[in-house]
Chains A and B, each alone.
Chain A
Amino acid sequence: MAVKSIAHKKSMAMGSRGLARQGWVTGIMMVLPYTLFFLLFSLFPILYGLRVSFYDWSLLGDKEFIGFLNYTTLLQDEEFRDNLLHTVLFTIVSVPLICGVGLLLAVLIHGIRRGQAFFRAAVFMPYVLSVSVISSIWVIFLQPYSGLFNQILRTLGIINSEIFWLSEPMLAWASIIMSTIWWTVGFVFVLFLAGLQDIPTSFYEAGQIEGANRWQTFWHITFPSLSRITILVVVLQTIASFKIFGQSKLITGGGPAGATKTVVFSIYENGFQTFQMGYASAIAFVLMIVILVISVLQTLILRKFES
């Protein structure tokens, strides 16, 4: 009792300034543990990576400062250019597909009252699996003779001879894209579904009064109301597509003949198979800059939308 009252008096005497000081010490103490992790395992690696990218840095041999040589070499490296092209093409094809399928599924399933939880779960389920599991499932699924996919297509009368999905560049990419849609569309779908649920019903009532048909309703009410989410989804998917690696490593092994290798594949091969750490770091930096530019564009566009 006595101790408490003394403490009370003391704090009264210190006034708000004393409390504020105690506050900021606690604040710093609470932020400190995470900050240490961040400095050591997020910020430091970025700066270290930037440094490495200016060196001829092999894993065991010498390190030699070579300025921008890694970056200029990159411009003439045909394999890197191919891999960059593959990545860009994959992004251009897969982003609209994933976003479109996600929106379509969201609109379809949003309209279903009974059993909506089942549909939602079915579409989202593959998203929680790892790339190792989904890749292996699809490799077996796509086997030319015994795979279920060709069997289904044959039963439906769509094909009459086996398709060798993984042995031709275009088909290999089609396989990677199909499996990627199956794996990740649930995420986009959930975001669109949440967006659809946030549209006030009064919007639709207004449309009904004006006699809008289903297509007009979608085009003039639903789609514009989803614009914020659409931008977000497109940007997130673009970034994710640029980082594609696991599927091409595990489904096609980068083949046939390197046709499905990507930018991250270049980092992996140069860094951990030929051990050119400097060169691989330069590629990683190019990738990071591309992704930063996309992120900044997203921020700018979203801000413009909100004001």
Chain B
Amino acid sequence: MTTMDRAYMYVSRIVALLLAVFFLIPIVWMLLLSFTPEGQPILGGGFHFSFANYAKVLSQAPIFGWMGNSLIVSVITTAMVLLLSSMAAYAFSRIRFPGSKVLFLLFLSAMMIPAEATLIPLYLFMRDIGLLGTRTSLILPAVAGPMGIFIMKQFFDGLPKDLEEAARIDGAGFFKIWYRIFLPLSRPALAALGIFTFIGAWNDYVWPLISISDKAFMTITLGLPMFQSSYVQQYALPMTANALAAIPVLLIFLLFQKQIIKGIAFTGGKEM
């Protein structure tokens, strides 16, 4: 290694470290503030660890209720997306049926439609069918997104063709092949799609903002700003609420880091 190489190595490592610190500061600071009672200094004043903020936030706002709503919506959305898109993707990948190409092309082009463009008609439609403001109204449009079909079809297309031959000879139908052979084999793809769908549903903001007005049905992304708008010049409680909302997804991230990062690379950066 030349001196130049070594110098580059050290400099790049220091720069990377500084940048990593910069990325972590807001999150670390959020956690520090949430454990420090309001008005007490964090920097230079001796840090007093306390759960008082958490108790206060939980007694002042239905944070757990909001998180419960988020959880119900995210889990059902994820389960439905996994089931319906892997089933349809299998048919598109392995079965020839009339109209399959046209239908797939239709789904493909729908990926270009931004959710923001359908807010108004979705609002009117949900109101007409009496679902506006319910948790169901948050689930249905999320399940209709075509992203899952592409991720799953891409994965199925990559599985060897003779995989299902033996099962076919034994008389297994396509449906059986899908859930007996393809689903177990596609666990990594299902995991990636599931995690993205869950995080996406958990973090959704615009559509819940428009659909939900009843405090009891709010998700955490929606309830959070509501709760915080009543605090001016106070930071410990809003930050604690942030931490409560962030901790579940941060934990999911830390647990499934590899799948998440691989999943993004795998889908070639198709929008999440």
Name A residues whose Cβ lies closer than 8 Å to a Cβ of B.
Answer: 7-8, 11, 20, 22-31, 33-35, 37-38, 40-46, 48-49, 52, 105, 108-109, 111-112, 117-126, 128-138, 140-141, 143, 146, 148, 151, 182, 187, 190-191, 193-194, 214, 229, 232-233, 236, 239-240, 242-243, 245-246, 250, 264, 267-268, 271-272, 277, 280-281, 284-285, 287-288, 291-292, 295-296
Contact = CB atoms under 8 A, between A and B. Distances in A.
A223 B19 CA distance: 22
- In the complex, the 7 A-B pairs of residues with the closest C-beta atoms, listed nearest first: A27-B97, A194-B265, A27-B95, A24-B97, A130-B203, A41-B144, A49-B121
For chain B, which range describes its interface: under 10, 10 to 19, 20 to 34, or 35 or more residues?
35 or more
Nearest to B98: A24
A272 B271 contact: no
Contacts of A44: 121, 125
A182 B25 CA distance: 11
B239 interface: yes
12 contacts: A27-B91, A34-B85, A34-B149, A40-B144, A42-B146, A125-B24, A128-B252, A133-B221, A194-B265, A214-B4, A287-B116, A288-B113
B269 A229 contact: yes
Contacts of A111: 9, 12
B249 A128 contact: yes
Contacts of A35: 88, 103
- Most A Cβ at <10 Å: residue of B33, B119, B271: B119
Contacts of B107: 38
B205 interface: yes
A148 B261 contact: no
Given A131-B205, A267-B119, A287-B117, A190 B261 contact: yes
A232 B174 contact: no
A103 B209 CA distance: 34
A13 B16 CA distance: 69
A122 B23 contact: yes
B159 interface: no
B246 A22 contact: no
A46 B121 contact: yes
Nearest to A25: B97
A292 B114 CA distance: 9
A126 B20 CA distance: 11
A40 B142 CA distance: 12
Which of A20, A129, A134 is packed against the most chain B CB atoms within 10 Å? A129
B265 A271 contact: no
Contact of B225 (A38, A123, A136, A233): A136
B250 A11 contact: no
B1 interface: no
B88 A133 contact: no
A151 B88 contact: no
Contacts of A191: 264-265, 269
Residue from B15, B110, B235, B245 having most chain A Cβ neighbours under 10 A: B235
Contacts of B209: 268
B122 A41 contact: yes
Given A37-B84, A131-B221, A243-B116, A121 B90 contact: no
